Homo-oligomer: A and B are copies of this chain.
């Protein structure tokens, strides 16, 4: 990976130090993770933005979805920083590498690099693989050499290495040596079962490095709650590659959290492992990937969590104001986070002003408006809204408070949705919308493949004659999250809708006990924002037919 010194730290990053992300492969193994190919492509782009050196995309051949990912990646994924890696296994015992279907599928992924998993634990060779120790070495030798001949960079994941080293250090080391001699660039020592503590990791890495001289990597799991510390201990002991997963997703207790590892390496250990300026993207990338993976962000996640720099006011409040550095281990801005006072309104004002500036509104000197906006945002967020993810809804709210009246292109009278499963098994969704547009009352009914789709079509149909430019709008994403899991179907539902007009995309939000009402709110905002954009684009901001009557639904 390319990593230029930023001049911020004294120690230089080791030449060619590699940050290797396996969110899309090992992270996807986590319970409750179910990434589509589109999700995986989106995550890969975020990882590339962050500046990781390597992105392990999946296991082609073993998982049809991953085969598809690599196929689509060839045309749909342009990486600026990262090298795409396909994961696979060494060839089957007693077979020819050139004829192994899994090996060939890996080759057909057409990635510049492959990562091969291999056994290095004598019992795993005999009991899981059911072959001889020599044959396992031959499998490593043949498969690594095969991919080198095909012009690929090769990494080798030595599975169960630390347990294997305890069982038979001689053999484990031999696996490392054979892999390197056959052309593996880095041999990654894996604590596959996650049972190690840092001192043992450090000792083994030291010993293997000394005995082989091979460039080593580290791959840890969090079963002792020490995956991050284990990874750092391995770096101290000389590894040149760290593998990890964004937000620590992964099987059982998860993989080493790559966000935390990178922040510690950069900020605590003085190693530059990301391209200049990217460290401040950690927070954004962590949250964006959580969103795509549909995993609730962990508020207490180190460095990037919502609570990571939150201070309960009280004892320390005045001192924090004078010397924040006394109460924070780093400046949160370094990792794209913010100090947050849990009782004080100050943090709220600052972030509203900052956010508004980002959207092109200068609120300096408008103290009252800022107070009103902060108050309203707080009330709405207490009810489950989350404006961080819904810029367009926030902008509508902002305009409303600044203009004093809501911008309305149409007024709602009522809507109705019917979903019916008929006796013949067919399910039909139908929606009716009644609106007043430019003084005209319009009733429109449409069917859809679900209640929200029907509602969207009915609304579009109602508006399209008087706002023909709505034809360009398309709903590109729809997300639902139940916010309070303790009241069954009576819980509060948050809906996020992403809309595109072909040029840009915007996200709107709705929150309600009723999923359809929440969806309506988000749809309403989505159309409102789209119309606003188009009128702004026409140079006619307070455009024709804009009604300002009636409060917003919310």
Contact = CB atoms under 8 A, between A and B. Distances in A.
Contact of A419 (B307, B386, B417, B434): B417
Nearest to A431: B419
Nearest to A430: B418
Contacts of A198: 198, 229, 232-233
Contacts of A193: 327-329
B478 A482 contact: yes
Contacts of A548: none
A489 B450 CA distance: 7
Nearest to A480: B480
Contacts of A92: none
Closest 9 CB pairs of A and B: A195-B329, A229-B229, A475-B488, A128-B319, A453-B489, A225-B260, A450-B514, A225-B228, A416-B420
A56 to B, nearest CB: 15
Given A252-B300, A480-B481, 17 more contacts: A38-B484, A193-B328, A197-B229, A199-B236, A223-B329, A224-B260, A225-B229, A226-B264, A252-B309, A254-B300, A414-B420, A415-B421, A448-B489, A449-B490, A450-B516, A453-B489, A485-B498
A329 B194 contact: yes
Interface string A375-400: 00000001010101100000000000
Interface in A29-58: 29-32, 34, 36, 38-39
Given A39-B485, A251-B311, A420 B415 contact: yes
A313 interface: yes
A421 B517 contact: yes
A31 B27 CA distance: 27
- State how many copies of this chain the complex holds: 2
B195 A330 contact: yes
A268 B197 contact: yes
Contact of A251 (B268, B312, B345, B451): B312
Contacts of A232: 197-198, 226
Contacts of A322: 127-128
B224 A264 contact: yes
Contact of A302 (B63, B223, B429, B481): B223
Secondary structure at chain A's binding surface: helix, strand, loop or mixed?
A: mixed
Contact of A483 (B36, B389, B418): B36
B128 A302 contact: no
Interface string A283-316: 0000000001010100111110101111111011
Contacts of A32: 299, 386, 388-389
A253 B260 CA distance: 12
Nearest to A29: B312
Interface string A482-507: 11111011110110001000000000
B417 A450 contact: no
Contact of A308 (B223, B264, B345, B514): B223
